[in-house]
Amino acid sequence: MTVTKKELYDTIDLIPDSVAKELLNYAEYLTSKYIEKTMPEELIIKDNQDLKKKLNERIKKIESGKAKMLTIEEAFEEIDKL
């Protein structure tokens, strides 16, 4: 365990559960932000309009033959490759 992680564990051990829960929520938020920075832009959905735009772009690619329709399993396999 690194010194930083040990310090973090020791600090967490001293705080009340209610604050620890907020800290855990914040850690999950930071993790998601880090993941977003490493993901390809086409996999990040910013809001409803962005989702609609990306789905429409994918539909156009499928209709033009530039992309193929994937099953759910195939889509997850592609995501796992990233």
- The Cα 40–Cα 79 span in angstroms is 10
- Residues whose CB falls within 8 Å of the CB of residue 19, separated by 6 or more in sequence, listed in order: none
| Predicted pLDDT at 65 | 94
| Predicted pLDDT at 51 | 94
The pTM of the full predicted model, rounded to 2 decimals, is: 0.50
pLDDT in tens, the chain (82 residues): 899 999 988 888 899 988 888 988 999 999 888 887 888 888 888 899 999 999 999 999 999 999 999 999 998 898 888 7
Cα-based distances in Å from 24 to 3, 6, 30, 36, 51: 20, 16, 10, 18, 28
Listed by start position, the domains of the chain span 1-38, 41-82
According to DSSP, residue 28 is labeled H
